[in-house]
Amino acid sequence: MSYLDKLNPTQRSAVECTEGPLMIIAGAGSGKTRVITYRIAHLINKGVDPFNILALTFTNKAAREMRERISAIVGPDARNIWMGTFHSIFARILRVEADKLGYPSNFTIYDTDDSKSLLRAIIKEQQLDDKLYNVNFVLNRISSAKNNLISVAEYKKNETIQADDFSSGRGKMGELYEIYAQRCYKAGAMDFDDLLFKTNILLKQYPDVLNKYQHKFKYIMVDEYQDTNFSQYIIVKKLAAVNRNICVVGDDAQSIYAFRGANIENILNFEKDYPELNVFKLEQNYRSTQNIVNIANSIIKNNTNQLEKNVFSENETGEKIKVIRAFSDNEEGKIVAESILQERTIKNLDYHGFAILYRTNAQSRSLEEALRKLNVPYKIYGGMSFYQRKEIKDLIAYFRLTVNPNDEEALKRVINYPVRGIGKTSLDKIIVLADEKNLPLWEIVSNIHLYVSGRGVENIMNFATMIRSFQALAKNNTAYDVAEHIAKQSGILRDLHADKSIEGLSRYENIQELLNGIKEFSEREDIEDRSISQFLMDVALLTGDEKSEEEEKNTVSLMTIHSSKGLEFPHVYIVGLEENLFPSQMSLNSRQDLEEERRLFYVATTRAEKKLTLTYATSRFKFGTLNNSEPSRFLDEIDPKFLDLDFNPAKQQKESSLSVDFGDERKGFTEFASKPKITAKVKTTQLLAKAHIPTEGFAPSDTSDLQVGMEVEHERFGFGKVINLEGKKPDIKATIFFKELGQKQLLLKFAKLRIVS
């Protein structure tokens, strides 16, 4: 067991603790993956059958990497571990048990585009306003319900939910959820949320099935446990109930997916479910310099809702964290681009060692423009993936229809592509007939002569005959043989080959690349099922980390901070550190949301290995208008001894010459600069004023009767006392002395003050 010698004492203790419930709190860069893989390998070396081990991850990339590492220790037995994403593992179980829920074993898995397409059709059929019932909003609402295990029936009878829908003018949400669920069921399809939702139903309604998998999975490991939602939590808890050999690994400080339904309470309260819990804390960061780890610690310590740990690094001290102020977002982009070019040239570095992280996708514009002007190559991480391209989705729709002819979205997509004389009018008639008779579309299409006569019937009959021929071929042939045949016989290859434009050639090459990938799949030695059905399941369950066919190139990576989780780069730039941007404006009225924003900043800083640069702009374009910006409160939370400032901060109030009178704005972090020859006197405040967290449930008061002497609270400036009022309504100005920031003058109609007393 020489592999154990590669672990530090805490890591080794966690690996060797194989029995009973275990929580491994893994700080950023602390060797989490190594501990998980070695622990599974250790279980196998102790005699545990790999078939009895369940390992759940959030990406296929993570699962594949872990399996490869385990294989290096235990050999081919690693292929027998039940290891994969939550969705892939439970889709596998549902394939076996689907008949109990009334689904075919070859059910289709709808991706987001399929779900949106179906919902658009339903919204149109119900003659609802598609602006009020925006398809993204409706899908998110249904997704949230499923992730909280709220069925259609429960949704429609829940008074709180119904009141919320009606108050927003969306009283038909329950009906949309119901119709959507019915249509998915009729099409033999599940969306991504269903893979968890239906698994919960399966385990709840069929005790024999629950018992079967409880005894099968004797050892359970869950990676990134802080990212689990309620649905995932319940499944894992049920499966672990018999043996209680459950190990969860995660870091509450990196819980950043509440908007997807992730519940940080799952990891914070894990001990309540397992009082006999063993806890190990992986606190040594092997990734980053000491300075980077130190500023990350100084940020996250401001959160109250967290598990205590002391992350440290024994790497080199490293450079101080550079903080750069720009006058505008365009200048910010220029400064960052020039910095990358300079670093790369002086130190002879590769571009792929640089990453620029931002809070919102919209921020990439100024950065892209600046990089292009300097001919710095870059890529947007998380752009359109290979499997989302139209030509790829078209051919895959044929595959889906071959495997599951009741797949409504696939049928609608390809019934007249390539063009075969089945127009929209004909398709609409088929949809109406299917609705009236409560039958799948395929039932009408495959027996069209029984329902419709006249023009176009022959074209529909020919289409149905072609699909049946594909189905017959799929029964006894590999995925590649079937795919190649469908690509030719459907007319897709011919149609794309006839398009001699650059775009047409690119689409044709993409189809060939897809076929190449299917050929590789069909020749794999580590799988038994090489059918087109299994290929479709693998594709449907690909996570975002695998969907791009682009190879790693020597380019600067641009991405949102959410997309950066799990990645690391030698040089990282975090841009846009401004109030109302990072932290986002929506997070400022809730302690819980603000703490998640702070965790997001923590995640961003810990992506850096050697050098970290923070930037902000004093003005930024928003909706075509240039607005003044304030430095982020997160900058104030960093211990200044770890920072390298490109300006002289105001450590106490002092007079300074500026281009604009910023009036009552928070100066907190920096001394501002000016264009030449235009001056105005303003006061700047202490650099490291403590950031104010609004009172829980903060809401502005009616200040029409505000009086001198009253105590008030401002959501950013904190608590203060009114010392003067001047002017007439509605333009009354209040002079307020704030405990942390000193005296400020605010225009009442914009101040959003809460009257304390």
Q: Which two tokens stand for residue 93?
A: 């179980």
> What is the topology classification, in CATH, of domain 388-542?
PCRA; domain 4 (1.10.486)
Nearest to 310 by CA among 281, 331, 339: 281
- DSSP-assigned letters across all residues of 450-506: GT--STTHHHHHHHHHHHHHHHHHHTSS-HHHHHHHHHHHTSHHHHHHH--SHHHHH
> What is the topology classification, in CATH, of domain 321-385+546-645?
Rossmann fold (3.40.50)
- Going by pLDDT thresholds of 50, 70 and 90, the confidence category of residue 693 is confident
Peptide bond into 207 cis (omega under 30): no
* pLDDT tens track for 594-631: 999 999 999 999 999 999 999 999 888 765 566 788 89
* 224 is a catalytic site residue: yes
pLDDT > 90? residue 718: no
pLDDT at 336: 95
For the chain, what is the mean pLDDT?
86
Dihedral angle sign, alpha carbons of residues 431, 436, 441, 443: negative
Q: Does residue 33 have a known ligand-binding role?
A: yes
Whole-angstrom CA distances from 624 to 440, 560, 581, 620, 627 are: 48, 22, 16, 10, 9
- Considering the candidates 33, 489, 695, 735, report the single residue annotated as catalytic: 33
Q: Does residue 544 have a known ligand-binding role?
A: no
* 33 is a catalytic site residue: yes
Q: Domain residue spans in the chain?
A: 3-99+197-282, 108-187, 321-385+546-645, 388-542, 710-755
Angle at CA of residue 341, ends 336 and 343, nearest 5°: 90
Dihedral angle sign, alpha carbons of residues 733, 737, 741, 742: positive
Strands across the sheet with 321-326, in order? 378-380, 556-560, 354-358, 569-574, 608-617, 321-326, 643-645
* pLDDT tens track for 298-315: 999 999 888 888 899 999
Compute the average pLDDT of residues 344-349: 89
Burial degree of 348 (CB within 10 A; 0-12, 13-18, 19+): exposed
Strand pairing of 718-726 and 733-738? antiparallel
Whole-angstrom CA distances from 115 to 69, 86, 173, 191, 504 are: 36, 20, 15, 7, 28
Q: Does residue 742 have a known ligand-binding role?
A: no
Position with higher pLDDT, 693 vs 657 = 693
- Considering the candidates 111, 224, 227, 252, report the single residue annotated as catalytic: 224
- Going by pLDDT thresholds of 50, 70 and 90, the confidence category of residue 685 is very low
Q: Does residue 20 have a known ligand-binding role?
A: no
Which CATH number is correct for 3-99+197-282, 3.40.1280.10, 3.40.50.300, 3.30.430.20, 2.40.37.10? 3.40.50.300
* pLDDT tens track for 219-243: 999 999 999 999 999 999 999 999 9
- DSSP-assigned letters across all residues of 673-731: ---TT--EEEEE--TTPPPP-PPTT------TT--TT-EEEETTTEEEEEEEEES-TTS
- Considering the candidates 111, 223, 409, 609, report the single residue annotated as catalytic: 223
Q: Which residue has the tokens 């609705």?
A: 435
User: What share of the chain has pLDDT > 70, as a percent?
Assistant: 90
- Give the H or E element holding residue 625: strand 625-628
pLDDT > 70? residue 668: no
Q: Which residue has the tokens 């549902």?
A: 94
Q: Please, what is the angle between helix 32-45 and helix 9-16, to 10°? A: 40
pLDDT at 728: 84
Q: Do residues 567 and 607 touch, judged by C-beta distance below 8 A?
A: yes
- Give the H or E element holding residue 610: strand 608-617
Q: Which two tokens stand for residue 546?
A: 């695998």
* 538 is a catalytic site residue: no
CA–CA distance, 31 with 57 (Å, rounded to integer):
16
* 193 is a catalytic site residue: no
Q: Does residue 18 have a known ligand-binding role?
A: no
- Going by pLDDT thresholds of 50, 70 and 90, the confidence category of residue 651 is very low
- Considering the candidates 146, 413, 607, 744, report the single residue annotated as catalytic: 607
Q: Does residue 383 have a known ligand-binding role?
A: no
* 254 is a catalytic site residue: yes
CA Rg, the chain, in Å? 29
Q: Do residues 645 and 298 touch, judged by C-beta distance below 8 A?
A: no
- Considering the candidates 254, 284, 670, 703, report the single residue annotated as catalytic: 254
DSSP letter at 58 equals: S
Q: Does residue 31 have a known ligand-binding role?
A: yes
pLDDT > 50? residue 499: yes
Q: Does residue 727 have a known ligand-binding role?
A: no
Reduced to 3 states (helix: H, G, I; strand: E, B; else coil), residue 528 is: coil
pLDDT > 90? residue 181: yes
pLDDT at 497: 86
- Going by pLDDT thresholds of 50, 70 and 90, the confidence category of residue 659 is very low
pLDDT at 43: 94
- Give the H or E element holding residue 280: strand 278-282
One fold for 3-99+197-282 and 388-542: no
- Considering the candidates 12, 32, 39, 620, report the single residue annotated as catalytic: 32
* 237 is a catalytic site residue: no
Scanning 253-358, the segments in alpha helix (DSSP H) are 265-268, 270-273, 290-300, 329-347
